[in-house]
């Protein structure tokens, strides 16, 4: 039985988690606080969501948190935010590139603008945010960057062409940051969540107009060995691992937290 778990501790660390108003980012923030993080910083797209998020953090008993409205695609705003974090909070030890959107549109019907918006937020945003924190991490010769990838970093499906392209690119961006900055003792890894019950996937789980089960809901449960959607809380442990010194020798890795979807052909229909 391992007695000393200190390598998994985030004691004294400050984490910036983009898009941590709710969903996966919020639950990663909670796990980081439980692991001893000194401060959580997050950003999102609106004052209204920021206030709602701060209330959620208060309800969760988390007070060591600061939120800012900042669009991850706005390079100037992100650079200003990092300056503000340095002034108001201090160094950023961990960056989690979590903010993301999806548009479910058949590719031949998707406009260029729609495709661009998804790629901008899901791929260019992580580039902008990681580029903003790397200089400080390089100077300190220490840092953790965790990108939130997806099943769509490995698999395609109808209507999510932009999202799959972005998340596939994010997997390679993860590997390239590892390659370029490993010598500075910076580890860049990714988490590839399976199908998680958050607002982003709510449309795939809502009952049909006639009250019947959403077909995609049944599909995902058949594709997941445990036969269920995963909960956002289940990403906390893997995120703590990749944010802690326990993963100092792990770099460029995508840790799939998918309940086994990628390993499973799917349950045979009855």
Residue closer to ligand GCO by CB (options 102, 243) is 102
| Residue 103 and residue 151 in contact, taking contact as beta carbons nearer than 8 Å | no
194: contact with ligand GCO by CB under 6 A: yes
104: contact with ligand GCO by CB under 6 A: yes
Residue closer to ligand NAP by CB (options 150, 187) is 150
| Min separation Cβ 190 and ligand NAP, Å | 10
157 binds, among ligand NAP, ligand GCO, none (CB under 5 to 8 A by kind): ligand GCO
Q: Report the candidate in 103, 123, 127 with the shortest Cα–Cα distance to residue 115.
A: 103
214 binds, among ligand GCO, ligand NAP, none (CB under 5 to 8 A by kind): none
Q: Please list every residue from 158 through 187 that binds ligand GCO, using CB under 6 A.
A: 160, 163
Kindly tell me which residue out of 10, 31, 35, 72 binds ligand NAP, with binding defined by CB under 6 A.
72
Site size toward ligand NAP (CB under 6 A) is: 29
Kindly tell me which residue out of 102, 230, 240, 243 binds ligand GCO, with binding defined by CB under 6 A.
102
d(CA 256, CA 103): 22
160: contact with ligand NAP by CB under 6 A: no
Q: Which of 22, 57, 68, 163 is catalytic?
A: 163
24: contact with ligand NAP by CB under 6 A: yes
19: contact with ligand GCO by CB under 6 A: no
Active site residue 163: yes
| Residue owning tokens 């390598």 | 7
Q: Report the candidate in 166, 78, 184 with the shortest Cα–Cα distance to residue 119.
A: 166
| Residue 171 and residue 153 in contact, taking contact as beta carbons nearer than 8 Å | yes
**Angle of helix 47-59 versus helix 23-34 axis, rounded to 10:** 40
| Residue 191 and residue 231 in contact, taking contact as beta carbons nearer than 8 Å | no
150: contact with ligand GCO by CB under 6 A: yes
**How deeply is 38 buried, as exposed, middle or buried, from its count of CB atoms within 10 A (0-12, 13-18, 19+)?**
middle
| Residue owning tokens 């495709």 | 115
d(CA 191, CA 173): 13
Kindly tell me which residue out of 10, 152, 190, 235 binds ligand GCO, with binding defined by CB under 6 A.
152
Question: Radius of gyration of the chain from Cα atoms?
Answer: 18
Known catalytic residues are 163
């Amino acid at each position: 039985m391992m007695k000393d778990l200190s390598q998994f501790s985030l004691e004294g660390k400050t984490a910036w988690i983009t898009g941590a108003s709710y969903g996966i980012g919020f639950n990663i923030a909670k796990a980081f606080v439980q692991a001893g993080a000194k401060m959580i910083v997050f950003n999102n797209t609106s004052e209204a969501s920021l206030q709602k998020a701060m209330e959620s953090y208060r309800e969760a008993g988390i007070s060591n948190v600061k939120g800012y409205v900042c669009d991850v695609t706005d390079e100037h705003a992100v650079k200003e935010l990092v300056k503000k974090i340095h002034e108001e909070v201090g160094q950023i030890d961990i960056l989690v590139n979590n903010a993301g959107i999806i548009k479910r549109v058949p590719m031949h019907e998707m406009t260029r603008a729609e495709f661009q918006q998804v790629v901008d937020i899901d791929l260019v945003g992580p580039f902008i945010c990681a580029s903003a924190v790397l200089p400080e991490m390089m100077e300190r010769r220490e840092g953790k960057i965790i990108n939130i990838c997806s099943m769509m970093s490995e698999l395609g499906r109808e209507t999510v062409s932009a999202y799959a392209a972005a998340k596939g690119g994010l997997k390679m961006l993860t590997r390239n940051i590892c390659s370029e900055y490993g010598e500075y003792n910076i580890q860049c890894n990714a988490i590839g969540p399976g199908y998680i019950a958050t607002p982003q996937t709510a449309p795939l789980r809502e009952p049909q107009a006639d009250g019947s089960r959403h077909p995609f809901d049944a599909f995902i449960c058949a594709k997941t060995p445990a036969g269920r959607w995963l909960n956002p809380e289940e990403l906390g442990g893997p995120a703590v691992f990749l944010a802690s010194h326990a993963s100092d020798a792990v770099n460029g890795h995508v840790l799939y937290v998918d309940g086994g979807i990628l390993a499973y052909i799917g349950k045979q229909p009855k």
